[in-house]
């Protein structure tokens, strides 16, 4: 009970910060998609990585060395993610934008749920399952189209040049998409409020973004269940269900 009252005060406080800020940027991680039924791979024993070693299957090396094994892991994951839909937390960010209170969303998630919810600018620093590309000629296909390109060995091949097709997500050992990283940094530096949702803020490049906002004189608000390295420097800290608390913040806006 006491916790609910405390959260209510923080929800009001966050709504106040959002209404006073002129440039608000959201930074989201796995926690915003948990209410959509996508487990956070860091949750012990529960996530998608519980039974496999990601350093063995989800690396750019593994993709080239054992493409079949790579797709054996990734294809069901694609199918699982393809069926997921945005939740109330994604929708709340769309509503903030619609009211002119949110400039953009930077996300670590590859599930493309922000775009599906209707967010305008979404900066996907780890790529997205939305498209896959030929690693030889660069041709690109949508998530729905890729399924038709698998051969009987379970490998997706480019019909044009017979090159290997890879999902446009950043694999371990792969370069981050430079344009997205630069845009994320620019947004973070220009924000007077960064709204961090469902991220433990520990994984590069996202881990460095709140620092840019703070250094430029902006403030941080954090809504996530796990602890983060920035907790002590956040103006507001919420730790409940993002699909309840984020809509509550929007509802509390003046
Ligand atoms: Zn090709």
pLDDT category of residue 52 using cuts at 50, 70 and 90: low
Distance from residue 163's CA to the centre of ligand 1 (Å): 5
Classify 134 as helix, strand or coil. strand
Q: Which domain, by its residues, includes 54? A: 44-83+129-169
CATH number at residue 74: 3.30.1600.10
Separation of 115 CA from ligand 1 center, angstroms?
A: 27
Residues 159 and 65 in one domain: yes
Does 90 qualify as catalytic in the annotation? no
Asked if 35 and 242 count as a contact pair (C-beta separation under 8 A), the reply is: yes
The pLDDT of residue 129 is 92
Q: Are residues 225 and 149 in the same domain?
A: no
Domain termination site, one of 169, 191, 220: 169
Q: Examine the fold and report which residue of 118, 151, 169 is the final residue of a domain before the chain moves on.
A: 169
Instruction: State the average pLDDT over residues 160-171.
Output: 93
Domain final residue, candidates 113, 141, 169? 169
113 and 4 inside one domain: yes
Q: Write the DSSP symbol of residue 197.
A: E
Give the per-residue pLDDT at 82: 87
Residues 210 and 109 in one domain: yes
Q: Do residues 23 and 99 both lie within one domain?
A: yes
| Whether residues 94 and 184 fall in one domain | yes
Determine the distance separating the centroid of ligand 1 and the alpha carbon of 71, expressed in angstroms: 17
| pLDDT surpassing 50 at residue 235 | yes
Residues 179, 227 share a domain: yes
What's 12's domain CATH number? 3.40.50.1220
On whether the CB atoms of residues 188 and 11 are closer than 8 A, the answer is: no
Cα 147 to averaged position of ligand 1 atoms, centre (Å): 16
pLDDT tens-digit profile of 77-132? 888 888 999 999 999 999 999 999 999 999 999 999 999 999 999 999 999 999 99
Total domains, the chain: 2
50 has pLDDT over 70? no
- Position 222 pLDDT exceeds 60: yes
Provide the H-helix boundaries in the chain.
Answer: 2-20, 54-57, 60-65, 67-82, 88-98, 113-117, 143-146, 178-190, 209-215, 242-251
* pLDDT exceeds cutoff 90 at 44: no
**144 and 232 both lie in a single domain:** no
With 50 as the cut, is the pLDDT of residue 1 above it? no
Q: What is the DSSP-derived secondary structure letter of residue 164?
A: B
**One domain, residues 97 and 137:** no
Q: Are residues 34 and 51 in the same domain?
A: no
Nearest-CA neighbor of 7 among 168, 197, 242, 254? Answer: 242
169-194 residue pLDDT tens: 999 889 889 999 999 999 999 999 99
**Catalytic-labelled residue, pool 64, 90, 114, 126:** 126
Q: Among 90, 74, 70, 72, which residue's Cα sits nearest to residue 29?
A: 90
Residues 183 and 235 in one domain: yes
Q: Is there a single domain that holds both residue 185 and residue 221?
A: yes
């Amino acid at each position: 009970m006491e916790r609910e009252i405390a959260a209510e005060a923080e929800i009001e406080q966050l709504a106040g910060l959002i209404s006073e800020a002129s440039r608000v940027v959201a930074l989201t991680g796995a926690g915003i998609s948990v209410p959509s039924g996508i487990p956070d791979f860091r949750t012990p024993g529960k996530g998608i990585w519980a039974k496999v070693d990601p350093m063995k299957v989800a690396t750019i090396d593994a993709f080239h060395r054992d493409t079949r094994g790579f797709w054996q892991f990734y294809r069901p994951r694609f199918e699982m993610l393809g069926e997921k839909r945005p939740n109330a937390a994604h929708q709340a960010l769309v509503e903030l934008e619609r009211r002119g209170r949110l400039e953009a969303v930077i996300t670590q998630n590859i599930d493309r749920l922000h775009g599906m919810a209707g967010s305008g600018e979404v900066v996907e620093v780890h790529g997205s399952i939305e498209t896959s590309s030929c690693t030889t000629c660069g041709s690109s296909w949508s998530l729905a189209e890729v399924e038709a390109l698998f051969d009987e060995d379970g490998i997706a091949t480019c019909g044009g040049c017979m090159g290997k097709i890879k999902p446009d997500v950043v694999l371990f050992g792969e370069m981050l998409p430079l344009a997205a990283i630069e845009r994320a940094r620019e947004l973070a530096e220009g924000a007077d409020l960064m709204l961090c949702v469902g991220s433990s803020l520990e994984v590069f490049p996202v881990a460095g973004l709140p620092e840019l906002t703070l250094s430029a004189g902006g403030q941080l608000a954090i809504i996530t269940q796990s602890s983060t390295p920035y907790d002590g420097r956040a103006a507001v800290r919420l730790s409940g269900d993002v699909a309840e608390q984020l809509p509550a913040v929007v509802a509390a806006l003046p």
